Amino acid sequence: MERDAAGRLTYDEPDYGDESGVRVTGRARTAAAASPFGGERNPDPCSLVMFGVTGDLAHRKLIPALYDLGCHGILPFGTTLVGYGRQAMDDEAFRSLMQQAIDDHYGVEVVDGDTCERILHRPRYVQGQFDDPEGFKRLAAVLDELDGRGSRGNRMFYLATPPSQFPVLVKQLGAAGLARPGATGGGRGQGDGAGPGWTRIVIEKPFGRDLETARDLDRVIGQVFDERQVYRIDHYLAKETVQNLLVLRFANVIFEPVWNRRYVDYVEITAAETLGVEHRAPYYEEAGALRDMITPHLIQLFSLVAMEPPAAFDADAVRDEKMKVLRAVRPIPAHAVDDWAVRAQYVAGRVEGKQVPGYREEERVAADSYTETYAALKLLVDNWRWEGVPFYLRTGKRMARRITEIAIHFKRPPVLLFRDAMAGGGLQPNVLVLRVQPDEGFSLTIESKVPGHAVALQPVAMDYSYGTTLNELPFSAYETVLVDAMEGDMTLFTRGDQAEEAWRIVGPVLEAWVSRPPRSIPIYEAGSWGPEAADALIARDGHTWRRPTKGDER
């Protein structure tokens, strides 16, 4: 695979299929073998049914991810994208919609036509309402046709719709006989399935609005699908650094012995955004930062940091250990929520040098809205490994910098041998930082001697960055999600009991915030690192938040 004079990707050999069923070309085959997926990724072909295919998620993430998989020689030959939506269009119009999504993501001048041709080959579109049985009969007829044309009877349903439509779609799939609960399929971490090909359903977040609605949704899904067919997506867990967290912990003997209360002082998990609500205001007004980010994403990251070593690296073993640590989280006392959680809302300020409006001035936001755009949460784990070590989770919009990271702060040495050599700030503790986005990688801050005759100390960061170290950047999270679902690997997907346990953890906070509507809400200026109340939350334990700047990984 090369670029021509215009910058387009080109192939210098004709198409051919290999024994794995993956459709590749001459140089694309080499690229696939050298990619992070390597030759080990061998997903099954399938009919990929996408509900909400005309929506923002499909346009910005899912369709470009399919194109990327094609560029890396990973997309199985025989896979057909089937769109289902309320908008009137034929197959050719759907093909144009897909092409537009790819062009918008990469730019027309760099999109490879041959790869697009393979990905966009004969897509199908079915028009129908989400609650229309006749529409699902038409969908079933299309899938029956595709079963004999290369999909091998494998079907994956992707619910990229508003959460309110999840139970509606699940019930209609069941009523139309499309769930096929016996067809779970084999995969890493699963047993062998039965039936003519497998059937899987991928569900986007948020999974419910609270514990009660999450349980209700689980009941609806359980009446139609087997749990082994259900893939509750958290694209954060598919990011390269998050997956590398398990390798860092369990493949390096130097970390696991100090990964406990004896050596760790506290842990921060941060997801900061510079963007506002953009076009998502109606959804965000109902959700808020706690439901949108902390419950589905940050609590899952927390479980990976805090869990015990699994017995094996497979889906069941990893998810069992995550579940154990979630159950060990100390309940937040309903009478003292303010000591454990903070909410706030951004007002006008400057972000990356540009003046931006406050949340209440954003389009389609209520002028008297009390929806939180910032949330911080303190968790304690009642087990032998973590007793007394606080975990601080925070997320916010219109923050000073876009960054998602996990920071493990270690304790200071018990005896300070170098008091005379230390600067005014004292000896700095070691900090291990795992950067999830945007600059994926990790760094370890240690104390080092300043060169010279005098003995003076300074902190230095030992840094590893995927973008500068590897010849190509890691695959996107949605590429990983799609391939894992096609392969039946459930390791990075959330199990139903995990989703419910996350809602159990934040339940007292949600109940307190709903039952005691504020007459005012703490504010923070857009472009800052959040409200003073969040600083006070962590300062009560003698700690401070990290405020990383561009290029400063300490």
Any domain includes 70: yes
Is residue 399 within 8 Å of 528, Cβ to Cβ?
Answer: yes
Q: Helix, strand, or coil here: 469?
A: helix
Quote the CA–CA distance of 447 and 449 in Å, as a whole number. Answer: 7
One-letter amino acid of 297: H
Q: Which of 214, 232, 250 is the last residue of a domain?
A: 232
Per-residue pLDDT of the chain (554 residues; tens, 9 = 90+): 333 343 333 323 323 233 333 333 322 333 333 333 344 667 888 999 999 998 888 888 898 888 888 877 788 888 889 999 988 999 889 988 888 888 888 776 656 666 666 666 788 999 999 999 999 999 999 999 988 877 888 999 999 988 889 999 999 999 999 998 876 665 543 433 444 789 999 998 888 888 999 999 999 999 999 999 999 987 777 677 777 788 888 888 999 899 999 999 999 999 999 999 888 888 888 889 999 999 989 999 999 999 999 988 888 888 899 999 999 999 999 999 999 999 999 999 999 989 999 999 999 999 999 999 999 999 999 999 999 999 999 999 999 999 999 999 999 887 666 665 555 556 778 899 998 888 888 888 877 777 766 666 767 778 877 766 555 555 677 888 888 899 888 888 888 889 999 999 999 999 999 887 677 789 999 999 999 999 999 999 999 999 986 655 44
Same domain? For 270 and 358 the reply is: yes
The kind and range of the H/E element at 3 are strand 2-3
pLDDT of residue 207: 87
Look at residue 447 and tell me if it is in a domain: no
Residues 6+ apart with CB under 8 A from 315: 187, 188, 189, 190, 489, 490, 491, 493
For residues 202 and 263, membership in a common domain is answered with: no
Q: Is 297 among the residues known to form the active site?
A: yes
Residues found in the chain: 554
Q: Are residues 162 and 279 in the same domain?
A: no
Last residue of some domain: 232, 262, 292?
232
- Residue 144: how many other CB atoms lie within 10 Å: 11
Nearest to 134 by CA among 165, 164, 176, 87: 176
59, 72, 297, 409: which is the annotated catalytic residue? 297
Asked if 169 and 274 sit in the same domain, the reply is no
Asked if 254 and 391 sit in the same domain, the reply is yes
Same domain, 128 and 65: yes
Residue 485 lies in a domain: no
**Three-class HEC string of 290-336:** HHHHHHHHHHHHHHHHHCCCCCCCCHHHHHHHHHHHHHCECCCCHHH
476 lies in a domain? no
- CA 290 to CA 287: how far, in whole Å? 8
Asked, for residue 473, whether it belongs to a domain, the answer is no
Q: Report how many domains make up the chain.
A: 2
Report CA torsion sign: 480, 486, 490, 496: positive
Task: Give how far the C-alpha of residue 342 lies from the chain's centroid of Cα atoms, to the nearest Å.
Answer: 23
In a domain, 462, yes or no: no
- Tell me, yes or no, whether 138 and 9 share the same domain: yes
Shared-domain flag, residues 42 and 87: yes
In the listed set 197, 232, 267, which residue is the last one of a domain according to the structure?
232
Q: What is the pLDDT of residue 277?
A: 87
User: Which helix H or strand E contains 201, and what residues bound it?
Assistant: strand 199-203
Question: Is there a single domain that holds both residue 210 and residue 121?
Answer: yes
* Residue 484 resides in a domain: no
End-to-end CA distance of the chain: 39
Same domain? 144 vs 241 = no
pLDDT given for residue 144 in this prediction: 92
In a domain, 437, yes or no: no
CATH at residue 85: 3.40.50.720
- H/E stretch holding 525 reads strand 523-525
* Sign, Cα dihedral of 394, 397, 399, 402: positive
Please give the structure tokens belonging to residue 227: 């749990």
Shared-domain flag, residues 147 and 163: yes
Question: Cα–Cα distance between 92 and 523 in angstroms, integer?
Answer: 49
Contact 178, 143 (CB under 8 A): yes
Regarding whether 356 and 241 lie in a shared domain, the answer is yes
Residue range(s) defining the domain that contains residue 89: 2-232
Domain harbouring 319, CATH code: 3.30.360.10
Kind of pairing, strands 23-24 and 9-10? unpaired
Helix (H) or strand (E) holding 23: strand 23-24
